[in-house]
Amino acid sequence: MTAAPAPRPALPRWAETLRQKYLAGEASTFVLYRNVFDSFLVGQTLHSLQSFLVAELFKDTKKHVCEVSLERGIRVLSGKWERGMAGLVGDASESDQGGLTLAALHALEQQMRSEQSTALIVPYADALLPAGDPSFMPQQDRQIYLAFHRWSLDPSLTRGDNITVLIAESLNAINPGLLSNPKVAAIEVPMPDLEQRRRVMAHLAPTLTEAQVRLFSERTGGLRTVQLASILANSEGHGMGEPERRAFLLQLLSGTPDAEQRASTLASITAGMTPAEITRLIEPGKALPVDDVNAQVLKVIHTRKREMIEKECAGLIEFIEPRHGLASVGGHENIKHELLAIAKNLKEGNTTLTPMGLLAVGPMGSGKTFVIKAFLKEAGLSAVALKNFRSKWVGSTEANLERVLATVKAMGPIAVIIDEGDRSFGNGGGEGGDDGTSSRIIARLKEFMAETENRGQVLFVMMTNRPDKLDSDIKRPGRLDRKIPFFYCQTAAERAQVLQAVLARYSQPCSATPPEWLALCEALDGYSNADLEALALLSVEQAHNQAIPLDAAVLAAAAADFMPPQERDMIEFMELLAVSETSRRTMLPQRYREMAVADIQSNLRDARRRALAR
């Protein structure tokens, strides 16, 4: 009796979507975009996208599979042409067939009509069919575009079981005239999800335990399969082999708890690293936490993940790693209470009670950046900051943006920080002669911020002291739906808390008594949190220079010497802006809490006139 054939491995979801759309006759030309330069694990084999299409998707369904590329022309990847293509088509084993010609495309079309069931794979389709008005293209580019457009609509070709797959990282880089064709379907190839990362880790590092695979796959969100392969033991990297790395790690970890287990695990995730790099990451002289044998491993994973993602995003994002939690924040009790509640919901995965975004508003020096970073530490959130995106995303702007957003989404839960948001999202932005690029960037970011599936996964946090310059649409509920107002300390006790918190962060003990603190801080009315920090550090400097202990007398001398900035009109204006933007009256200082909306707006107009009259 003949044994039943082994079931074929399940296709990735995006490939199954392509198959179903093709079988339903929805489209005959498909555009695969986004994560197209990754590897794909099917069964026990890692494929590139092209090899996956040839060896898995089209293996038993297409007689002929060809590559059509601007650089190498037309190459047969699977099957043999029987006639008509001599001299125009090369075999995939040949290294260089020259560029694509219009004559080769016409001959290919004749072959598809006479010998049906053909799949065409077009890598780097954005180079062959670039975005732009066909009227302004060179003649050959226009002819190639028209050929692909006509093929997608030609019933005799589509009925002949022919399919065309265009591959490009950015959908925006493909000619929009082709994309708008009703017989062309665009399918996103997403970043690996948690289950895919788990399968890849188990495949590439079989020595890891099931618990380690689960933990490490949770911590590698945002990495592609090729990036996971580059850090795991079975990847074909350069440098020391796994046994050599294990022996080296055993030497580094000699005398530490669980040295054998740690060395084996670390050897599995340090492929391609030099001894110096491993030593720098492991820090062998540093005390290890006794309750977490994976602490060093997670540190290595985090460091390598950070390096890879920052490189992947071409410097457009920067990881933020806060050192202090909300316990290190002096004053701001109502804000800390609000942020602790949000942090609790994030930790518990309670997405219903988690805001889509936060807007921190208030005058300069009121502690917005420090408090928000402390909140991220409290919530246990990874965080990245968008860096100079309006000035750096030139040329391939939209492609870079999509790469960043795809990476951010795959890394969730994560916070995206936009400091000085009025500069990036100021109303009227994007009209500065850049052909609308900035406007399209901002529109795409707004769209992403409003995607409800991001709730609890991607938290946008924007900080500004001029919310009046923000586009009103960016501030609406559903994007930045929790607005947190920051003010200078209202009482001497609050100012004393800030000074004490600053000195504690810098490990500078002070012998001042509580009455001395209050007496000193009564005279500091109107000082910002930044002013108070500068004053605290000035007192530390003076105590050091005089070689005396830091006490109330040193603090008083520093306070008498320190000159805070004098911009009262602007500060009042920014405070009233914060009042007008707040989500809740209970977060306001007492003097503003009962003020009528009409009075707030009237005072704001007067303050604006005084502040901006200079």
Residue 420 has pLDDT above 60, yes or no: yes
Sign of the Cα pseudo-torsion (356, 361, 365, 366, in order): negative
547: its two tokens: 């070689």
Predicted confidence at residue 392, as pLDDT, reads 47
Q: Domains in the chain: how many in total?
A: 4
Q: Cα(89)–Cα(65) distance, rounded to whole angstroms?
A: 12
Task: Give Cβ neighbours of residue 117 (< 8 Å, ≥ 6 apart).
Answer: 61, 62, 63, 64, 160, 161, 162
Give all strands of the β-sheet with 163-168 in edge-to-edge order.
89-91, 73-78, 64-69, 118-122, 163-168, 29-34, 184-189
Same domain, 328 and 275: no
Q: What is the pLDDT of residue 566?
A: 74
Phi and psi at 164, nearest 5°, equal -120, 130
For residue 192, the model assigns a pLDDT of 93
**Domain at 134, CATH number:** 3.40.50.300
Contact status, residue 19 vs residue 11, Cβ threshold 8 Å: yes
pLDDT at 133: 78
Mean pLDDT of 566-587: 90
Q: Is residue 7 part of a domain?
A: no
What tens digit of pLDDT does each residue of 118-146 get? 999 999 999 999 987 777 888 888 899 99
Q: Tell me: do 461 and 502 sit in the same domain.
A: no
pLDDT at residue 50 is higher than 80: yes
Whether 68 and 45 map to the same domain: the answer is yes
Q: Which residue has the higher pLDDT, 43 or 242?
A: 43
What are the backbone dihedrals phi and psi of residue 209, each rounded to the nearest 5 degrees, phi first? Answer: -75, 165
Other residues' Cβ atoms within 10 Å of the Cβ of residue 302:
16
Q: Is the pLDDT of residue 550 over 90?
A: yes
The partner residues of 360 in beta bridges, in order of sequence, read 463, 484
Are residue 28 and residue 150 in the same domain, yes or no? yes
| Cα-based distances in Å from 106 to 23, 111, 124, 147, 541 | 26, 9, 20, 8, 79
Query: Do 118 and 146 form a contact (C-beta atoms < 8 A)?
Result: no
Picking from 264, 263, 250, 265, the residue whose alpha carbon sits closest to that of residue 212 is: 265
Same domain (yes/no): 258, 276: yes
Q: How far is CA 510 from CA 259, 306, 378, 514, 538, in A?
A: 42, 38, 27, 11, 13
Bond preceding residue 514 cis, omega within 30 of 0: no
- Return d(Cα 289, Cα 296) in angstroms, integer: 9
| Mean pLDDT across 473-496 | 91
**DSSP of 159-226, one letter per residue?**
TTT-EEEEEES-GGGB-HHHHTSTTEEEEEEPPP-HHHHHHHHHHH-TTS-HHHHHHHHHTTTT--HH
Rounded Cα distance, 605 and 132, in Å: 47
| 228-232, 252-256, 325-329, 560-564: least confident range | 252-256
- Return the higher-pLDDT residue of 79 and 148: 148
**Do 406 and 471 belong to one domain?**
yes
Q: For residue range 265-280, list pLDDT tens digits in order.
A: 888 777 767 787 778 7
Q: Taking the chain, what is the end-to-end CA distance rounded to the nearest angstrom? A: 95
What would the two tokens of residue 214 be? 């689960």
Residue 287 and residue 324 share a domain: no
Asked if 104 and 68 sit in the same domain, the reply is: yes
Has residue 43 got a pLDDT over 70?
Answer: yes
Domain span including residue 347: 317-485
**CA–CA separation, 69 vs 65, rounded Å?**
13
Dihedral of the alpha carbons of 256, 260, 265, 268, in degrees to the nearest 10: 120
What is the three-class DSSP state of 589?
Answer: coil
78, pLDDT greater than 50: yes
Read off the pLDDT of residues 426-451 as tens digits, 9 standing for 90 and up.
Answer: 654 444 445 566 677 788 888 999 99
- Please give the DSSP secondary-structure letter assigned to residue 475: G
pTM, rounded to two decimals: 0.78
Check residue 289 and give its pLDDT.
53
Any domain includes 247: yes
- Cβ–Cβ < 8 Å for 495, 521: yes
Residue 176 lies in a domain: yes
Is residue 543 over pLDDT 90? yes
pLDDT digits (tens, 9 = 90+) for 381-390: 889 988 755 5
- Of 485, 511, 535, which marks where a domain is finished? 485
| Confidence check: pLDDT of 481 > 70 | yes
Give the span between the Cα atoms of 523 and 492, in whole angstroms.
Answer: 8
Asked whether 415 and 359 are in contact (CB, 8 A), the reply is no
Instruction: Please report whether residue 3 resides in a domain.
Output: no
Domain boundary among 140, 156, 189: 189
Residue 208 near residue 199, CB atoms below 8 Å: no
The whole-number average pLDDT for the span 72-87 is 72
Within this chain, do residues 408 and 321 fall inside the same structural domain, yes or no? Answer: yes
Going from the C-alpha of 1 to that of each of 4, 80, 159, 390, the distances in angstroms are: 9, 35, 39, 68
Helix (H) or strand (E) holding 33: strand 29-34
* Percent of the chain scoring above 90 in pLDDT: 46
d(CA 173, CA 179): 10
| 122 φ/ψ angles, rounded to the nearest 5 degrees | -120, 90
pLDDT above 70 covers what percent of the chain? 88
593-611: per-residue pLDDT in tens? 889 999 999 999 999 999 8
Number of H helices and E strands in the chain, helices first, is 27, 15
Q: Where are the alpha helices (DSSP H) in 32-180?
A: 49-52, 102-114, 125-128, 139-153, 155-158, 176-179
Which span out of 154-168, 398-412, 435-449 was modeled with the highest average pLDDT?
154-168
What's residue 98's pLDDT? 57
Contacts of residue 4, Cβ cutoff 8 Å, sequence gap at least 6: none
Among the candidates 469, 485, 501, a domain finishes at: 485
CB–CB of 438/394 below 8 Å? no
More confident residue, 115 or 73: 73
pLDDT tens for each residue of 306-361: 888 887 776 778 889 888 999 889 889 999 999 999 999 988 888 888 999 999 99
Residues 119, 102 within the same domain: yes
Residue 1 lies in a domain: no
Residues 496, 437 within the same domain = no
- 47-69 mean pLDDT: 93
What pLDDT is recorded for position 459?
Answer: 94
- Share the mean pLDDT of the chain: 85
User: Do 185 and 198 share a structural domain?
Assistant: no
